[in-house]
Structure 1
Amino acid sequence: MSEQVIPSADASSLPISIPCRDGVALGGHLWLAGTNRPEGSVIINPATGVLARYYHRYAQFLAGHGFDVLTYDYRGIGQSRPQRMRDSGYRWRDWGQRDFDAALLMMAAYRRSGPLMVVGHSVGGFLPGLAESAPMIDRMLTVGAQYAWWGDYMPGRRAALFLKWHVAMAAMTAIYGYFPGRRLGWLEDLPKGVANEWSFRGRRFERSHPKAEREAVLRRMVAVKASILAVAVSDDELGTMPAIRRALSYYTGAQRVSVLLRPADFGRDAIGHFGLFHDRYASSFWIDTLFWLREGRNPWPSRALPLEKSSHP
């Protein structure tokens, strides 16, 4: 489904600093709609090791269609990178509990009108439930959202991905004190704690948290009441349907819908894990997302899949 609207390029951004409760400041941008009553407020959560600027064209698109949008880099990445990466204590869970929580509180304070929403890519679509303030979210759109348990990787690619992200990444992190992803051409550099949580994460994500914290973490996930539209792509080797279902199974208090899109739906041979946020999809997928963000309406009803197979042990 595609509404024939020309993407606007009129919106501009304002650089901002987002203060976290533990004193860390995150770099980001605020993209303002050109109206006093925007359609709503959107926070864009990046994938692991992806700079926020990768999503700037999509943020500009949304602002041009009436939304206030916040983009930001997690601690350890891009504009939020510390002077010294080696042996950084930043962890994956910090991105949800501290960074996203700070971004959410800032956007909630700024909100002018309409719902408060999240667009989350990859782990960025799973992290919101870790934040104490997550019950404030009205609606979520996630793309390839999962927490990187290797058993959910695409079967034909599972062995190679396991060696890359769970063996090679762990070894390189041990050697350098951080993951030198940029040097290898494997995404951005990652803090040691983030890389190790990815490499050693098991079937259940909460087991990477200290035992005394696990119950509270699970309660925060259940407390999310937002409507969630979870998008999977058939050739995404990381965000497979089992991975999407596994992640969604923690959000039991939310209204959840999942859809499986195929490259052929957009006249493409391949999309993969990152493609939908490229501006080649501005006149197709990006336009379609407006139906969900404006109205809470699934633009791909024929692609909806049941969630009863949660993959949750």
Structure 2
Amino acid sequence: MKLNEFLRKTAPQWKGVTETSELDVSVLIAHLFGRSRAWVLSHGESELSPEQIQLLEVNLRLYQQGVPLPYLLGRWEFFGREFFVSQATLIPRPETELMVETVLAWLDGHPQAVQVLDVGTGTGCVGISIALSCDRVQVVASDLSFPALQVAKRNIEKYHLQGRVVLSVANLCPPLARRFDVICANLPYIPSERLKTLPIYGKEPTLALDGGIDGLTLYRHLFAVLPRFTPQTALITCEMDADQSSEMIALAHSAFPKANVTVLQDLSGQDRLLRVELEGK
């Protein structure tokens, strides 16, 4: 069977699974065959072996069942680089790149800042991206999920950062007697009941999405302990849902009454990032 014929035959199974299903399937085929997407698009007359047909059928069945494309690929792009992912990790998203950009801009203006804490690291994409873009920093990346940290370890090794990015199994902040110049937190912030109504529910790890009754349970715990981990001059960044700005600002002011607290918007114009700057206590 030729590739084009196979795609025509199976199209009713996978077309419309997502808004970009045709693109997704071409990317998936390229990955499975070790080819470029351009090769897939220009070699529709290629004969498929029985093994290739079986491989495609298995993966297209998973795609049809709702397994996200990044999990089928085992990788996804973030901040211009490719990172390993697994079903133990949240899939990196473009809106989270705002956190990296914000941290790098602050580090550029604070050359003495060296210590970075990445709370809820998942794949490690935030902490690793910061370390790759700023040679002087040392990063501690924490997560409660050991399987997620195993993925982060692979990404650290991929970019040869074993000496600069250290992993810690921890519920929020690691048990270290250390203060951090920068603290990044991308914690679960979707309210529990709302999460159950979203398409993402059951497809990505609930541990990385469920923020409790109002979505802010973990952020309350985090801000309760953050003063012990920050020096007089520091930056704290937290990703949040668009309707959580006022509550997050209140949490920040409660923990750091003199801080400069602002909310940054993502590319779609939605409130996305809490920025807390400490310039002396």
Larger Rg: 2
Structure with more contact order per residue of length (Cα contacts < 8 Å, sep ≥ 6): 1
* TM-score normalised by length of structure 1: 0.33
